[in-house]
């Protein structure tokens, strides 16, 4: 390209720079679409529900046995196939709740009373987590990559009262009742920080966190009658679900918030949906869950960077509706369910030339490239030559969204 062509391009760039700032400011955030893979029932057209996905894309969950209401716990992947967890003798059914990156799975077995368990897929070792008394119940709910498990187990025969516990290396740490009727632990992050709930039947529930042996009750939004924990990430951010009463209609509302160092961030909702239930969150502060609107309409949602998305608008399924997103890993892969089916959603990479993050190449990206013309160490250097120039312009135009 000669001197006159370069000067002409700079002139075009300068004439377009006046509206550039306004255009960029007016752009609504966008989200790249997802590809979807369905997890198939291993034997028939029965219900299969994924409950957790780890950072290598393996899924744990449960499916209904063919011709029965009994459940089997499963691992999906590697090789995109369902592997049924081998139940020990005397165990009637099993349900998986969580999975870590070592393919250790925790869940609940029926034998016939309920017992928590942890299954190591690599060693094929199944370990029962017993209650305090032989006739009590226990539930294993979450675990981290160190193999530390959290949940709840009854202190007496039967199911009540429940008591939150932390289990590691074969040893229980019971957190006790914390001055109320029951407690439970629901999640633990990679630093060993635990979150849970405490409450009395028919009275307010509260969220607590456990760090280095110290328990702290977490405050929620003003006006909330009850709150429950959803997830905690490596940064200590807690996703919570809060129950409120509408001041005008007296109807019960469900809202979800993020808590970090005492600050509360409401997730908001989408038009027409009053109940917002956060279910899971990753270390990138992406949250997934369920919205419920008038008439009982249900959709799965993704929340990130202060914006909420209907997941159904981001993926092209052959049939059905995603009604609930149950987990999201640190690669951004989402586990979502609907109509008795479970799908793994994987984010598609943005096209080359997408410089404004809206997952398409358009006039705004062209303006960004022209504004960066001749600069070094810029995202607009699409060919990696070290500076933004004519070859980058050709690459952008070649990937123009039609």
Residue 392 backbone phi and psi in degrees, to 5:
-65, -40
Tokens describing residue 203: 């009275």
Pairing between strand 171-176 and 162-168? Answer: antiparallel
How many Å apart are CA 65 and CA 56, to the nearest integer? 27
Give one DSSP letter per residue of 307-330, joined into a string.
EEEEGGGSB--SS----EEEEE-T
Instruction: At 140, list the tokens.
Output: 């294993």
Quote the CA–CA distance of 324 and 353 in Å, as a whole number: 33
pLDDT attached to residue 149: 98
Report yes or no: 99 and 121 within 8 Å, Cβ to Cβ: no
Residues in the chain with pLDDT values less than 70: 1-31, 201-204, 402
Which CATH number is associated with domain 3-28+352-398?
1.10.1330
Position 30 scores a pLDDT of 60
The phi and psi torsions of 211 (rounded to 5 degrees) equal: -130, 120
Q: Tokens 């299969």 sit at which residue?
A: 48
What residues does 342 pair with on adjacent strands?
Answer: 39, 337
How is residue 348 annotated by DSSP?
A: P
Looking at residue 7, its pLDDT comes to 54
pTM across the whole model: 0.85
Strand partners, 37: 344
């Amino acid at each position: 390209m000669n001197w006159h062509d370069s000067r002409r391009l700079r002139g075009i760039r300068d004439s377009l720079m006046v509206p550039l700032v306004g255009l960029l400011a007016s752009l609504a955030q966008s989200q790249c679409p997802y590809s979807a893979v369905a997890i198939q029932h291993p034997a028939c057209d029965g219900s299969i529900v994924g409950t957790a996905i780890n950072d290598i894309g393996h899924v744990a969950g449960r499916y209904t046995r063919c011709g029965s209401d009994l459940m089997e716990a499963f691992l999906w992947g590697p090789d995109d196939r369902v592997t049924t967890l081998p139940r020990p003798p005397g165990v009637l059914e099993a349900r998986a709740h969580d999975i870590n990156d070592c393919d250790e799975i925790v869940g609940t077995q029926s034998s016939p009373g309920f017992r928590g368990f942890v299954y190591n897929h690599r060693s094929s070792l199944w370990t029962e987590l017993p209650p305090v008394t032989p006739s009590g119940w226990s539930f294993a709910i979450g675990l981290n990559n160190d193999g530390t498990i959290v949940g709840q187990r009854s202190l007496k025969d039967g199911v009540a009262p429940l008591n939150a516990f932390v289990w590691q290396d074969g040893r229980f740490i019971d957190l006790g009742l914390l001055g109320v009727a029951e407690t439970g632990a629901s999640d633990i992050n990679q630093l060993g920080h635990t979150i849970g709930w405490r409450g009395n039947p028919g009275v307010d529930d509260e969220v607590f966190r456990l760090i280095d042996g110290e328990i702290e009750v977490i405050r929620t939004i003003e006006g909330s009658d009850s709150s429950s924990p959803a997830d905690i990430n490596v940064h200590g951010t807690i996703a919570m679900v809060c129950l409120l009463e509408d001041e005008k209609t007296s109807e019960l509302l469900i809202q979800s918030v993020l808590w970090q160092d005492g600050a509360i961030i409401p997730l908001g909702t989408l038009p027409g949906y009053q109940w917002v239930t956060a279910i899971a969150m990753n270390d990138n502060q992406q949250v997934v869950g369920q919205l419920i609107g008038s008439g009982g309409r249900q959709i799965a949602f993704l929340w990130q960077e202060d914006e909420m998305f209907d997941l159904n608008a981001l993926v092209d399924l052959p049939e059905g509706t995603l009604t609930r997103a149950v987990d999201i890993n640190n690669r951004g892969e989402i586990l979502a369910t609907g109509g008795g089916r479970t799908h793994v959603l994987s984010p598609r990479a943005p096209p080359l030339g997408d410089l404004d993050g809206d997952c398409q190449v358009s006039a705004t990206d062209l303006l960004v490239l022209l504004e960066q013309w001749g600069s070094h160490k810029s995202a607009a250097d699409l060919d990696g030559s070290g500076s933004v120039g004519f070859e980058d312009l050709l690459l952008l135009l070649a990937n123009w969204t039609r």
